[in-house]
Amino acid sequence: MVWIFSAGALAAPSVVGLGVEAVTNDPFVSTVGLHASVDQPIRPWLRLGASGGVYPSLGQGSWSALTTQIVTEANVTPDISAIRWRASAQATWLPVRQELPGRSRLLGLYAGMGWVYTVDDLDALQSYDDEDLATQMEFHPIVSGGLMAEVWWSSWGGRVRMERASYTETISSAIDESRNPFWLGIDLTARWP
């Protein structure tokens, strides 16, 4: 078993992925949803593609125990901004590859740019004035990057992803706040066609 750096062989078919992911560093809201991606290999060590995620709202069911405690017991109004969907274009560099009979393993880095759509929880904020309503739903440009590992058996495989993103959000029409969600995801992948 030897890890080798990818050389210039022929590019493979497109890679599609579908899985689940969650934001792991938000103490106020549980963000879990579906993730989909499609990548086109340009070289064995380089892919260009697009990915996106959708994260349903569960209302107060999305609140963490900390948020519930803050709102109900301390009567404090935290700013809760939940990500509802995101989409990005990205490049993936795959410098490490292990080829074995019937399977292969890949390790890579990826970076991308795109958009994230957020919705502020005005029930938690306990405020419905015009400033809050004006910034309740927003699109934000996002920059992201991460690490991924894939295991392939013929045309099917699995992928684990860790991704850090960054965007700036406007709160109550007056405050800009930097957000840095950390996503952890797992996908089922396939080579297509």
What string of pLDDT tens digits covers the 193 residues of the chain? 444 444 545 557 999 999 999 999 998 889 999 999 999 999 989 999 999 999 998 888 888 888 888 878 877 767 788 899 999 999 999 999 999 998 999 999 999 999 999 998 877 677 777 777 778 889 999 999 999 999 999 899 999 999 999 999 877 667 788 999 999 999 999 998 8
pLDDT at 83: 94
Please count the other Cβ atoms lying within 10 Å of the Cβ belonging to residue 152: 21
What's the pLDDT at 1? 43
Query: Do the strands 46-54 and 81-100 form a parallel or antiparallel pair, or are they unpaired?
Result: antiparallel
Is the CA virtual torsion 44, 45, 46, 50 positive or negative? positive
* Coil, strand or helix at 62: helix
Q: Residue 136 corresponds to which tokens in the numbers above?
A: 């309740």
With contact defined as beta carbons under 8 Å apart, do 120 and 132 qualify? yes
Q: What pLDDT score does 22 carry?
A: 97
Return the CATH fold of 4-192: Porin (2.40.160)
What's the pLDDT at 3? 45
Residue 77 and residue 67: Cα distance in Å, rounded?
9
If we measure between CA atoms, which residue out of 40, 36, 44 comes closest to residue 17?
A: 36
Cα–Cα distance list, 151 to 2, 19, 78, 141, 162 (Å): 15, 15, 41, 31, 15
Structure tokens given for 70: 């803050």
pLDDT value for 129: 78
What pLDDT is attached to residue 96?
96
Question: Hunting for tokens 């750096």 — which residue is that?
Answer: 5
> What is the predicted pLDDT for the residue at 10?
52
